[in-house]
Amino acid sequence: MQPDMKQETIVRAAEAAGFGAALSRRRFLFLSAGTVTGLAALNICRVWGADAPVIIIDNARGLLLADPGRCVGCQRCELACTEFNDGRAQPSLARIKVGRNINFGPDGPAGGLGMQGAWGNGLVVQDTCRQCPHPVPCATACPENCIRADPATGARIVDTAACTGCRLCRRACPMNMIGFDEESQKATKCFLCLGSPKCVEACPSGALRYVPWRDLTRESVPRTTTLTVVPADKAESCLECHVTR
């Protein structure tokens, strides 16, 4: 844009904003600086927005934050989880997984420096659901749309009445945090116990906390290679926002 055109644009904007026809040099410089700042901010937003997903499923209001340095490996959290949610003491069904690093070193099954364990520093790590932001991998993969945000907590919750047991959500979760109840043939996942996580209450060492939600997905090392099969209707609806180049 030519300098005289820029000046004319700023003058018109000033008049529209109520500055009147007379525009002092000081006000002109003030508006010019504001215009430049606004354009710079717009460009920054465009850059940041290149990978930022459009929020369709609202973020959860909280999540579980684990401190491996405090964990004593007692696994009371796993028992509390299944006793509250499933009515039986079955750690294999727990929505929190304790000590999955214990037999692996820094180059364990998923690789990367994020791995701990027998060949690392010996930490007993508690794995928790990250309550992923949109696009939520497990919800996107589900052909029955049975993984939704709970209205009260925003936690991603499985509607067991709609779940058909296809297990596609398990293949889609990068942290391998989707469980499966062989007895009921339904998928299970952490839904934060309706806002009062029983694992946090049961932990004797304060290694678990229920904290306000933040995006931990970019800080996490994937546990498994994912295979996401997106249903055709979902793939079509996603094209508006997620353009393939």
Assign residue 122 the CATH number of its domain. Answer: 3.30.70.20
| Residues 118 and 38 both lie in one domain | no
Question: Nearest 10 degrees: CA dihedral of 122, 127, 133, 137?
Answer: 110
Position 244 scores a pLDDT of 47
Long-range contacts (CB closer than 8 Å, 24 or more residues apart) made by 86-94 = 86/181, 86/188, 92/179, 93/179, 93/181, 93/188, 94/179, 94/199
243 within a domain of the structure (yes/no)? no
Q: What angle do CA 211, 216, 222 make, to 5 degrees?
A: 135
pTM (predicted TM-score)? 0.67
What SS3 state is found at 213? coil
10 and 122 together in one domain: no
Q: What six digits make up the tokens of 133?
A: 């932001």
Is 37 a domain residue? yes
User: Are residues 34 and 66 part of one domain?
Assistant: no
Judgement on whether residues 128 and 23 belong to the same structural domain of the protein: no
Q: Which residue stretches of 203-245 are H helix?
A: 232-238
Give pLDDT < 70 ranges for the chain. Answer: 1-55, 100-122, 227-229, 240, 242-245
CB atoms within 10 A of CB 177: 21
SS3 assignment, position 227: coil
How many domains does the chain divide into?
2
Which residue range(s) make up the domain with 40?
Answer: 3-48
Q: Convert 101-159 into a string of H (helix), E (strand) and C (coil).
A: CCCCCCCCCCCCCCCCCCCCCCCCCEECCCCCCCCCHHHHHCCCCCEEECCCCCCEEEC
* pLDDT at position 224: 77
Cα distance between the two ends of the chain: 30
